[in-house]
């Protein structure tokens, strides 16, 4: 989309949900726009009159409580158009949903990967990248984000045990749709196009080298995103996408490309864990003790299912790992909340003394 090419807002994903929230904000002299690229405090924004460069208003930047309150790729914003065809972002509209993770280096802040998504393609390569436990983690994140997941097993032409892997993937969640693709042989791409109807947004996530950019190029119909081969010595991918970007597909739909993620630290998994590991949750009611941790307690139905071969021991170990990760994150959040409360109380206590001293002087 060029900077001057007009487009219908509905083609960008605009619907009654965003329209209601736009009117509710009652921001004067603004138009709706959707974030396509994010560069620190500068953004590329798609509007009905084309794409333009915009920056945050001082008020929005000042009032933001961390990066999660700032615009992310896929967000709808209220935009004031300037005379030089740039824009000023006055507000971020409420999100329908978002795919997020714990921000790197900050245990109490959420990082928004992409916002307002209809479907997320969880892409895994079958050339050495495949990891069932990683897919479980992505499914938990998709559940917590209220986004419909679809698993894409790419590079199927390099896999000698495809049927076995498909059974393993289906075992972790039989309700999630799974597609196999081979971009090299141009197989399996057409079935993915059903998720890209007019105004629908698909985000692609996965580690480096799984073929996200190649899949996007196939879906777009031309080579928009740069691609590289994986390293032969360790089958590790090399970053080709360096920033998140929202792309418009001329045949309909929108695609969000994301850089390869080395790790995905989960954010809020209280309900998502129960949904992703539903078979463990259903077994919980048969445990002898209500507070059973499914480790070494007598009468544990979950451990019993492992012994009978009804539940994978690896899956249970990963469940325990994610549970511990969730507990640690909740503890850090509570500590931060308590520290802020103590700081607030301390300021309240010292304020009167300061006032009396100034009055005395």
Question: What is the domain range of residue 188?
Answer: 98-257
Domain CATH for 335: 1.10.40.50
Helix (H, G, I), strand (E, B) or coil at 45: strand
2 inside domain: no
268 inside domain: no
On whether both 135 and 114 belong to a single domain, the answer is yes
Q: What is the pLDDT of residue 351?
A: 57
39 inside domain: yes
Cα-only R_g, the chain: 24
Q: What is the pLDDT of residue 355?
A: 39
On whether both 185 and 104 belong to a single domain, the answer is yes
185 inside domain: yes
Number of structural domains found in the chain: 3
Domain CATH for 185: 3.40.50.300
What is the phi/psi pair of residue 39, to 5°?
-130, 90
On whether both 106 and 232 belong to a single domain, the answer is yes
4 inside domain: no
On whether both 108 and 238 belong to a single domain, the answer is yes
CA distances, 109 to each of 105, 267, 318 (Å): 9, 9, 24
Neighbour count for residue 222 (Cβ, 10 Å): 7
270 inside domain: no
Q: What is the pLDDT of residue 343?
A: 67
Among 257, 289, 312, identify where a domain stops. 257
Residues 196, 252 contacting (CB under 8 angstroms): yes
What is the phi/psi pair of residue 201, to 5°?
-115, 130
On whether both 109 and 191 belong to a single domain, the answer is yes
Q: What is the pLDDT of residue 302?
A: 92
Among 224, 257, 290, identify where a domain stops. 257
Q: What is the pLDDT of residue 126?
A: 92
On whether both 289 and 204 belong to a single domain, the answer is no
Domain CATH for 54: 2.40.50.140
On whether both 204 and 221 belong to a single domain, the answer is yes
Q: What is the pLDDT of residue 334?
A: 73
Give, in degrees to the nearest 5, the angle at Cα 266 between 230 and 338.
145
265 inside domain: no
Structure-token pair, residue 97: 């949903």
On whether both 321 and 352 belong to a single domain, the answer is yes
On whether both 174 and 241 belong to a single domain, the answer is yes
On whether both 170 and 221 belong to a single domain, the answer is yes
> What region, left, alpha or beta, does residue 210 occupy, with left being phi > 0 and alpha being psi -120 to 50 degrees?
alpha
Q: What is the pLDDT of residue 186?
A: 83
Neighbour count for residue 24 (Cβ, 10 Å): 10
Among 76, 92, 108, identify where a domain stops. 92
Structure-token pair, residue 231: 């390293």
Along the 361 residues of the chain, how does pLDDT read in single tens digits? 555 567 899 999 999 999 999 998 778 899 999 999 998 779 999 999 899 999 999 989 888 777 788 999 999 999 999 988 899 999 999 999 988 877 666 656 778 899 999 999 999 999 877 889 889 888 888 888 889 999 999 999 998 899 999 999 998 888 999 999 998 888 899 999 999 999 999 999 998 889 999 999 999 987 775 555 554 454 444 445 557 899 999 999 999 999 876 666 665 656 677 778 888 888 988 999 988 989 889 999 999 999 999 998 988 988 888 888 777 777 776 776 677 677 667 766 665 544 333 333 3
On whether both 25 and 158 belong to a single domain, the answer is no
- Residue in 34, 2, 6, 23 with CA at minimum distance from that of residue 199: 34
State the pTM of this model. Answer: 0.78
Residues 30, 90 contacting (CB under 8 angstroms): yes
On whether both 103 and 251 belong to a single domain, the answer is yes
How far apart, in whole angstroms, are the C-alpha atoms of residue 307 and residue 322?
A: 21
């Amino acid at each position: 989309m060029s900077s001057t090419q007009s487009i219908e807002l509905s083609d960008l994903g605009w619907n009654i949900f965003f329209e209601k929230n736009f009117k509710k904000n009652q921001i004067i002299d603004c138009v709706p726009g959707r974030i396509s690229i994010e560069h620190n405090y500068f953004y590329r924004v798609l509007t009905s009159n084309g794409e333009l460069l915009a920056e945050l208003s001082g008020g929005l930047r000042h009032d933001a409580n961390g990066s999660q309150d700032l615009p992310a790729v896929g967000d709808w914003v209220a935009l004031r158009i300037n005379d030089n065809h740039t824009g000023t972002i006055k507000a971020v509209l409420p999100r329908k949903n978002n795919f997020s993770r714990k921000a790197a280096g900050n245990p109490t802040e959420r990082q928004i990967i992409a916002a307002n998504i209809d479907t997320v393609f969880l892409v895994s390569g079958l050339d050495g990248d495949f990891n069932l436990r990683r897919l479980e983690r992505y499914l938990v994140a998709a559940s917590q984000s209220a986004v419909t997941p679809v698993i894409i097993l790419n590079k199927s032409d390099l896999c000698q045990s495809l049927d076995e892997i498909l059974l393993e993937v289906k075992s972790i969640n039989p309700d999630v749709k799974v597609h196999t693709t081979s971009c090299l042989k141009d197989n399996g791409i057409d079935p993915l196009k059903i998720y890209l109807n007019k105004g629908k947004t698909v985000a692609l996530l996965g580690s480096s080298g799984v073929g996200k950019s190649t899949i996007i190029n196939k879906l777009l119909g031309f080579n928009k995103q740069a691609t590289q081969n994986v390293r032969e010595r360790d089958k590790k991918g090399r970053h080709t996408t360096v920033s998140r970007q929202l792309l418009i597909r001329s045949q309909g739909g929108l695609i969000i490309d994301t850089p390869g993620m080395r790790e995905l630290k989960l954010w809020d998994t209280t309900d998502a864990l129960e949904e992703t590991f539903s078979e463990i949750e259903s077994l919980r009611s048969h445990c002898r003790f209500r507070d059973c941790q499914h480790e070494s307690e007598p009468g544990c139905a979950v451990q019993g299912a492992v012994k009978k071969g009804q539940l994978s021991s690896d899956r249970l170990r990963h469940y325990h790992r994610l549970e511990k990760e969730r507990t640690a994150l909740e503890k850090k959040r509570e500590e931060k909340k308590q520290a802020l409360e103590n700081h607030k109380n301390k300021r309240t206590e010292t304020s009167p003394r300061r006032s009396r001293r100034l009055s005395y002087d």
